[in-house]
Amino acid sequence: MIRRFLRVTVGPAGERLVDASRVLTAECYQEWLRTRGKPMAQPERTFQRVLTCTITGTDGRRPFEAPEEAAILRELRQKRTWCGATYPSPQPDSRARQARL
């Protein structure tokens, strides 16, 4: 489902160029949320986990292809809010506070 928000073009040398700027948008998050069968306690964190698990190929997920992964990682590493005002939440969770102690 997330792959639908990737834009793939062919560069001048025939290379595959991937634009992942739409993956962290509210539109992508809301469409992903609609595909979930049951309500989640922390949907924003679950969405983050889906992205990171798909990048690493854990939990039996089919990993992104190398160009897709690189494009998504560029987006994830930018210091900005995900999905409009939805993620990250303004307050760190208790585990984050414990980790800093």
pLDDT of amino acid 69: 92
Mean pLDDT on 60-86? 79
Query: Lowest mean pLDDT: which of 12-21, 28-37, 71-80?
Result: 71-80
pLDDT of amino acid 82: 66
pLDDT bin (cut points 50, 70, 90) of residue 57 is confident
Mean pLDDT on 44-52? 87
pLDDT bin (cut points 50, 70, 90) of residue 97 is very low
**Model confidence pTM above 0.85:** no
Do residues 51 and 23 make contact, with C-beta atoms less than 8 angstroms apart?
yes
pLDDT of amino acid 34: 92
pLDDT mean across residues, the chain:
79
Q: How far apart are CA 56 and CA 43, in angstroms?
A: 20
For residue 18, what is the enclosing H or E element?
strand 16-19
